[in-house]
A and B are shown apart, each in its own frame.
Chain A
């Protein structure tokens, strides 16, 4: 298995531009997570999906951020318009949540976003 795939690996953009981050979860997994990591705030959960449905988006910073999961094998995180404070590493993770108490997440390599 290729693991969780994220693209692009690096993105440099200018303030005000739209940014779209992409994630392909591990085949067979039914939960998908988006995290953001900065030095100041550590690793923060932004949103997670279960069976393609957003379950908790309370971590999404503001309306400039949106996430979609149109099917089981693809998700996007969009920032529009981007701001310098959005600069961070964004991780996608997936898991197979059986409804019980276990939920082992597998992370992608991350997208390093720099907003100038």
Chain B
């Protein structure tokens, strides 16, 4: 089972910031938080990942709480093309190491 909890859907106005929350209360000390998104009919796309410090790249920013039990993905100026399912992932341990489990994600609708 996925180790994260996300709201099933969210709306955002075009041009505004989209803030997507994720809870990962059982995260272990050395596990990263990963975010991917999947635009309709395409393969999932890597967005960003982080351990405990806030991270920013050309796509998004990632804010991780000090206790690391939750995080927020921020798309600073959402466009219609950002409409997608966003997955927050913390890998789970298994034999041989860790594996990535995708949950249901958050379906983000960006509206004009």
Contact = CB atoms under 8 A, between A and B. Distances in A.
The yes or no verdict on A and B being binding partners is: yes
Interface of A: 4, 33, 35, 42-45, 48, 50, 55-56, 58, 91, 93, 97, 101-110
Given A42-B102, A101-B31, A55 B97 contact: yes
Contacts of B32: 101-102
A105 B96 contact: no
Contacts of B97: 50, 55, 97
Contacts of B38: 43
Where chain B touches its partner, the secondary structure class is loop
Contacts of B98: 101, 103
A56 B99 contact: yes
Interface of B: 30-32, 34, 36, 38, 42-46, 49, 51, 87, 91, 94-104
Given A45-B100, A56-B99, A107 B49 contact: no
Of A35, A105, A109, most buried by chain B (CB within 10 Å of CB) is A105
Contact of A91 (B44, B87, B104): B44
A54 to B, nearest CB: 9
Contact of B43 (A45, A48, A50, A107): A107
A42 B103 CA distance: 8
A36 B109 CA distance: 24
9 contacts: A56-B94, A56-B99, A91-B44, A97-B97, A101-B32, A102-B49, A103-B100, A107-B44, A107-B45
Of A48, A101, A109, most buried by chain B (CB within 10 Å of CB) is A101
B30 A101 contact: yes
Given A101-B31, A103-B91, A104-B34, A43 B44 contact: yes
Nearest to A106: B46
A107 B101 CA distance: 14
B43 A110 contact: yes
A108 B96 contact: no
Contacts of B36: 105
Would you list the 3 A-B pairs with minimal beta carbon distance, nearest first? Answer: A107-B43, A43-B102, A55-B96
